Amino acid sequence: MSDTQTPAPAAGMPLPRAVAYMAAATLLAVTQGLGQSFLTVNISTFAGDLGITTTDASWLLIVYMVPRAALPLMLIKLRTQYGLRRFAEWGIAIHVVVAFAVLWVTDMRSALVLHFLAGAAAAPLSTLAFLYMLEPLEQTWKMRLGLPATLATIMSGTSLGWIVSPHLIGDGGLTWMHLTSLGLSMASLALVFLLPLRPVPHMKVIKPLDFASFLLIASGFAGIVTAFVMGPAHYWSEPWIIWTLAGAIAALAASAMIELNREAPIIDIRWLASPAILHLTGTLLLLRLLLSEQTSGAPRMFQVLGLQAQQMGGLFTVILIGTILGSLACVAWMRPDRIPRFHLAALAMIAFGAWLDTQSTVLTRPHQMLISQGLIAFAGMIFMVPAMMSGLLTALAKGPQYLLSFIIVFISTQSLGSILGSGLFSTLITHRQAAHYQALTEQLAVGDAQTNAAIAAIAARLQPGMIDTAQARTQAVYQLAQEAGRQATVLAYDDAYTLIFLAASMAAGALLLHLLRDWLTARLTPAPQDNPIGTAT
């Protein structure tokens, strides 16, 4: 098929119905993405609504993300035994019920239960989004169009959450946000019932040992999510966090031993441990860590500087546009032989964007990061889509049954990767902020001429509102210490941006050397000659 041809629906499916399937895929991805981003973006609002601390409210994110990451692994066998459609119908129906019940949540205990059920109900939505987008397309366009379109909608969830949330949260608290989730869930439920996926042969494949293995995998995922959400919040000082992480590793190791000795495992660990898939997993994990700047970097830095979500709407609109443009670039130019070049361009863009952000100060505002964050969003798409294509081609080479397996494993690992990247980024910020604050406070020692001048200037501004001169000076010292804390935090973010710049630059350099080696090998290897001696008679 030439580059000028337009994608056509699969044989036998009319164009309007094909468009309906693609619209259903978009709605499913947006429903899942907004459901998760509403929680992560507005965690402090949830805390205030429930009358708890932000740290305690982080448990809502944990109980949502654990089933969201673990349950898709069971979809492989659930689809074979019961059909993905039946599971999806039940899952989205529960999603609707949970979205409706959340409207009356008033205490932490019920909120934890309902968010756990919401995470479980949302587990199949990303997988369904992939399948609905690929269903109506011809084989040639499944990778070329379906893959970029689905990933763009899935990766846009966080940006949409930041853009939409300020308009939904008002005097009514979280009510309108919950109603939006309810409406999206009901529309998704209707589309899943109206637009069936192509059925697959059913057979009984679920064994009792599957539940034991899955319980260990889910326990491992739960431990990782808990450790990397609560670890930074408690400065990794609580012993139970380390024990939780150790228990998670032990549970995953036990599940691996079970799975390796089974004829029909939940996940094929030997295939996942093959060099090609390990390389792909490492590549995607690297991208997730690099993109943590966009989810855990700029927005949190601006929150520290006192900005509200509505003041960051323009920034996330640019990020959303960058994501869409990146997916369109993949549709236009992506081919399997161009994957390394796409990755090299993406790493260079991420490095440049991170370098631009290293110039941040306490006076930096969102409009000054539009170019850098737009570049990083664009780069994330032109990195992710080709990497996903590489994985899907590897899965298809193994056998068609591995296609769904790869999609599900990809979704689960990316969910974990986002939590891991956010946790590591937050830990780095906390460590560097403490180091910078100590250095700044040492400079603010009593007796330093510049410090005394700054205190005197602040006290002079405060003096008209205060009778006591000593009180004005005390307040001036307090404000100066607050300013030092803000300076230290911004310097810590600059350190994190610098680290991302160095990591992306080193990865780009390594990839460039790899491409140069391949080019030199191709140039120096003599071309085969056809019968150089002559034809024998």
pLDDT digits (tens, 9 = 90+) for 271-325: 888 888 888 888 888 888 888 888 888 888 898 888 888 889 899 999 999 999 9
Q: How confident is the model at residue 262 (pLDDT cuts 50, 70, 90)?
A: confident
Least confident of 319-328, 496-505, 512-521: 512-521
Quick one: pLDDT at residue 531?
Answer: 53
How far apart are the C-alpha atoms of 378 and 272, rounded to whole Å? 28
Q: CA 167 to CA 502: how far, in whole Å? A: 38
- Rounded to the nearest 10 degrees, the angle between the axes of helix 175-194 and helix 15-41 is 150
**Any idea which residue has 């370098």 for tokens?**
355
On the CB side of 304, CA atoms within 13 Å amount to 26
* pLDDT of amino acid 444: 66
User: Quick one: pLDDT band at residue 48, thresholds 50, 70, 90?
Assistant: confident
Cα–Cα nearest to 123, from 153, 78, 182 = 78
The mean pLDDT value for 118-127 works out to: 83
Evaluate if residue 230 carries a pLDDT over 80: yes
Mean pLDDT along residues 463-470 = 61
Residue 28 in this model has a pLDDT that exceeds 80? yes
Rounded average pLDDT over 124-144: 84
Q: Is pLDDT larger for residue 242 or for residue 415?
A: 242
Backbone angles phi, psi at 173, to 5 degrees: 70, -130
pLDDT in tens, 312-327: 989 999 999 999 999 9
Percent with pLDDT over 90 in the chain: 25
For the cut 60, the answer to whether the pLDDT of residue 156 exceeds it is yes
Of the pLDDT bands very low, low, confident and very high (cuts 50, 70, 90), residue 492 is very high
CB 65 within 8 A of CB 169: no
**CA atoms within 13 A of residue 155's CA, in its CB half-sphere:** 31
Assess whether pLDDT exceeds 80 at residue 155.
yes
CA distances (Å), origin 520, targets 343, 507, 512: 20, 20, 12
**Residue 537 pLDDT:** 38
**321 or 336, which is more confident:** 321
Are the CB atoms for 73 and 266 separated by under 8 Å? yes
- pLDDT value at position 349? 94
pLDDT at 320: 93
3-class SS string, 324-366: HHHHHHHHHHCCHHHHHHHHHHHHHHHHHHHHHHCCCCCCCCH
Q: What is the pLDDT of residue 528?
A: 62
Angle between helices 108-122 and 43-50 (to 10 degrees): 140
pLDDT the model gives residue 475: 66
Please tell me the predicted confidence (pLDDT) of residue 412. Answer: 78
Place of tokens 């982080």: 58
Please give the mean pLDDT across all residues of the chain. Answer: 83
- ∠ CA 256-259-260 to the nearest 5 degrees? 85
d(CA 36, CA 157): 8
The predicted model gives 227-255 an average pLDDT of 92
> What average pLDDT does the segment 453-477 reach?
63
For residues 298 and 373, the answer to whether their CB atoms sit within 8 Å is yes
- The pLDDT value given to residue 536: 44
The lowest-confidence range among 146-160, 205-219, 395-409 is 395-409
Tell me the longest C-alpha to C-alpha distance in the chain: 116
Q: Is the pLDDT of residue 218 over 70?
A: yes
Cα distance between residue 4 and residue 19, in whole Å: 20
Of 486, 394, 395, nearest to 440 (Cα)? Answer: 486
pLDDT at 245 exceeding the cut of 90: yes
Mean pLDDT of 194-211: 81
CA 122 to chain centroid, in Å, comes to 15
- Under a CB-based contact definition with an 8 Å cutoff, are residues 354 and 293 in contact? yes
- Under the phi-then-psi rule, with left for phi > 0, alpha for psi from -120 to 50, and beta for the rest, what region is 531? left
d(CA 291, CA 418): 9
The torsion angles phi and psi of 9, rounded to 5 degrees, stand at -70, 165
For residues 36-49, average pLDDT: 87
- If one compares 533 and 59, the residue with the highest pLDDT of the two is 59
Place of tokens 């080479």: 397
Three-state secondary structure along 230-282? HHHHCCCCCHHHHHHHHHHHHHHHHHHHHHHCCCCCCCCHHHHCCHHHHHHHH
When comparing pLDDT for 199 and 113, which is higher? Answer: 113
Q: Cα-atom radius of gyration of the chain, to the nearest Å? A: 26
